[in-house]
Amino acid sequence: MKEVTTEEFEERWELAMERIRQIPKEQMTDTAFAAYFAKVAGFLLLIDEQKLFLEKGGLKTASLEELERRNHGLYADILPEHYEESYANPAYSVKCLGTEFGGLLSALYKELRSLVGFVHEGRIFELAIRGELFLEIYAAFVYEWEEEKRLPAYQEIRGIFYWFLSDYADVAAENRVRELVVPEDNFAVKIIMESDLSDLRYLFAYGEYVSENEMETARFLTSIPASELHVMADTYTEGYRKGFEVTGRDLSIKNTVDIRYQLGFEPMMRRAVENFGRLGLEPVCYRAAASLLYNPSLYKVGFYGGCPNRQYEFDHKDDRALFLDKNYNNRRLEVMHTAFEQYRKEAAGYAGPAVVETFGEKDFEPVNKPENIRLSEEQNGLMVEYRTQLGELQRNYIIEEERSFTIIAFPTPEIKAVLPEDTEECFREFFREVIRINTLDYEHYRKVQQTLIDVLDTAVCCEIRGREGNRTDLKVQLCRREDPERETIFENCVADVNIPVGEVFTSPLLKGTEGILSVSRVFLNGLEYKNLTITFSDGMISDYTCDNYSKEEENREFVRENVLFRHKTLPMGEFAIGTNTTAYTVARKYGVENKLPILIAEKMGPHFAVGDTCYSHAEDIRVYNPDGKEIIARDNEVSRLRTTDPARAYYNCHTDITIPYDELGELVAVREDGVRIPLIKEGRFVLEGTESLNDAFDA
């Protein structure tokens, strides 16, 4: 079955809507469930009304004020001011509908809310099948009340939801793979390239939530000089090109680039699309998933708008627990295999993602609600297993050794709330500083970082200790060289795929890597951790906690879910020394240290990644530093299992945790003869030849 706008799906949607229009007028014996179905039916009526508005060309004729009113109306029920009395809130749903059905019906409403994006893309098929899902569940409740004077069995309702997800898994897989590798007729790219970007009404064409943050971003980027805009886009696309060049990969055999961005950045993305075109690449771009059929995540992948309510997204992060079992995993893997087979040729031309990250949003401390649906221990294992198998499957079609990526980050106007002055001028000043950070002198950092590497290459381990209350006390074992003239163990990372410049990194040996990693406050994938502490034994995580919650059990579960990604343990996959003191001092000057994304924060001190190495699935590709030496530390004891036990070789995650300079007491390279060479002491670089990195501190 193809996902296209056809008369058949239009008819199915209209038939569904005829029935849905009657629901608010009908009476059920159980008034609590009657209120739920009436409310959700009202939302579907709103979707239908928006569909008619779009079909009549409303995006072109309506005023900016009307479009903003309509957009916020579609998201009103989950905005913080209304969320406490919304069925999208599992706590409220359980309160009204009971513990048996409350969570399930809240998840159903969350699934139906994904229609906001689909209706703007004109994906009528998606509307029709979800309208029918809602009616099937409603009919089951009505039948039991009318015939048996009771609620239906929980397993009956769960079964309806389960088979909806299973039955349409093949269509969803085909849609998602096509979105990933086929550039023709792309919804988002059309908006970027064909809209009048000086008219902010274009933002409402996406169907994403548009807050003042996205509006201000778009206004700001259309107001800055073209030269600054070009620097932003050119740094981004040139980093992508360099990623292929420095790894010896052939960009000429690729034809699609996967662009990812937040609404408001279209002025930059238009220039980027033009640049990619000159490299022979057409862009693909897809909506960050909201539907369970498309595997949503707290971490947005694709294009996305403002977040109407981060607690809402956190509350529903485990809704898949309603249906996740071995059979469903197998079904999803089967249909993904079929989809990749269908687009095998297109997948071979996929060059990799080019990501524009944003930062500056308000702090978010998630509340763990007992009413939220949660994965069981068995389902945690199934999730890990599925990610591993899906990764292996995808790499059969998108060859890891042939693709690359780039990531760059910029602030959004929301960060003004924490800048020294909440003014447009202060934001402009800070934004220019971020551009400067992203375009620092490549050659200067290459030379200074090589000085660090020359010493690190002679060491057998590094010792890292914290200060000012930081409890870090680590010994990290390093790979040994056999041919010092031709081999090195640290990569000299300058600004290509990983912008901005500023780190040297390695894959440490696990055996003998011991101790405690501590950081007082850090943001990882949009979540804040207070006093995050991780203990390593022979390079593997043996203990972990944080101080986010009053109960230790909740702290451990929070870290396990969002840092360990539900694994029981992870290896230390990377040890790095960040050298971007300019980024650090800019962050301190503007008071945004805790707002920076890991992309920049990891360059602001030593950092340690838990999970796979930086060379995951590409360990056998030879990589060289600018001095011509081969980087031999691409493996560890876990990743080497790929030849004998592939299922245990990778964890399919990689999270960087940085110790900021002000929390760093010392970082010492230790030679085999016991000689200790200090690299950083009391937060300052002390190795001869690296002192220029302290200039930013002095300034």
Q: What is the pLDDT of residues 478-492, one digit of tens each?
A: 999 999 999 999 999
Handedness of CA 246, 252, 256, 262 (dihedral sign): positive
Helix 212-223 to helix 266-278 angle (10° resolution) is 60
SS3 210: coil
Joined together, the tokens standing for residue 569 give 């343990």
pLDDT one-digit tens code per residue, 641-655: 998 888 789 998 999
Residues in the chain: 699
Return the SS3 of 20. helix
Residues 6+ apart with CB under 8 A from 99: 371
| Averages of pLDDT over each 10 residues, the chain, 699 residues | 68 97 85 95 98 97 98 97 98 97 98 98 97 97 84 96 96 96 97 97 98 96 96 96 89 98 98 98 98 93 96 96 95 97 97 96 89 93 90 93 93 94 94 94 91 97 95 97 96 83 95 96 85 97 96 94 93 96 94 88 93 89 89 95 87 92 95 97 96 91
Nearest to 409 by CA among 144, 536, 599: 599
DSSP run (H or E) holding 681: strand 676-681
| Whole-number Å distance between alpha carbons of 300 and 525 | 9
Spans of all domains in the chain: 7-167, 178-410, 442-698
Provide the 10 A C-beta neighbour count for residue 552: 11
Strands 487-488 and 491-493: unpaired
pLDDT at 29: 66
Q: Quote the pLDDT of residue 1.
A: 41
Residue 353's nearest CA partner among 164, 179, 476 is 179
Q: Which residues contact 520 (CB under 8 A, 6 or more apart)?
A: 469, 470, 530, 531, 663
Find out whether 260 and 301 touch, Cβ atoms under 8 Å.
yes
Q: Which residue is associated with the tokens 């201000």?
A: 216
| 517: enclosing H helix or E strand | strand 509-524
**C-beta separation of 510 from 538 below 8 A:** yes
Alpha carbons 144 and 148: distance in angstroms, whole number: 5
Residue 2 pLDDT: 45
The pLDDT of residue 5: 53
pTM, two decimal places: 0.89
